[in-house]
Amino acid sequence: MTRTRAIHAYTTWPAGFDPWQAKPGALGHPATFRAGCVEWAAPEGLATRCLVPTWKARDGGGYARVRVAGRMVMAHRYAYELAEGPIPAGLDLDHLCRIRECVQPAHLEPVTRRENTIRGDCFKGDQDTFGCGHARTAANKRANRKPGGQCRECKLKGDAAAKEIRREICTRLGITQREWEALPAADRASSIARLKRVSRLANPPAPDRERRHVGLAQQDATLCGESSP
């Protein structure tokens, strides 16, 4: 029997949970949540001020987080649902003020993931060049999951470099490409690491003072086809 998870309208708290019934004083309580935010100056083009949480909980992208009903959720999504109601299914919240920490509902607009990416500061789809500096032309643009596409020239160079590395490793190990692909990922990673150490030994930038382990040196010598002393 297949179990299906019930889908509820509100995404930041479980079905049947009332935020106003949260423990008084907890950040998940709407009154405490609002009291824990400070106002920043209104950005250009917006009439209302930004609301920025004073607590330190942030994720890797700089978005504020808050614990609600025993789980950590995005603070701006929680604030929007408290003020405006459920976020439409499949939509993200775009910060019109461009301040990721802001939880001001008036600064949040539900948009599609693609639209949110295009509006973001990291999107370069409307520029004449890629981030690498190569021209963004129809012939040099490779479609992928990124809205701005990928530089075809850099992709081809990267694939060629990876192919050359695999060929060099297979030659030094005395195995075929098929045998290399059959190796466990850990063995392939260690082989690549040893090859890089061998390359540094062949062209040392300075006197080798870092190789303090005889075992690594013996492995490198074996990989190069040399006999151990």
**Which tokens sit at 117?**
């990416």
Among 95, 59, 90, 89, smallest CA distance to 74 is for 59
Q: Residue 51: which H helix or E strand, with range?
A: strand 50-53
* pLDDT tens, residue by residue, 28-42: 899 999 999 999 988
Residue 127 pLDDT > 70, yes or no? no
- Is the pLDDT assigned to residue 15 strictly greater than 70? yes
Residue type, position 57, single letter: A
CATH number of the 19-119 domain: 3.90.75
Tell me, what's the pLDDT at 131? Answer: 66
Nearest to 103 by CA among 37, 190, 192, 10: 37
Residue intervals in the chain for CATH 3.90.75:
19-119
pLDDT of residue 104: 94
Place of tokens 């040099």: 140
The tokens for 205 are: 């930038």
Q: What is the pTM of this model?
A: 0.53
Rg (CA), the chain: 27
> Average of pLDDT values for 23-52?
89
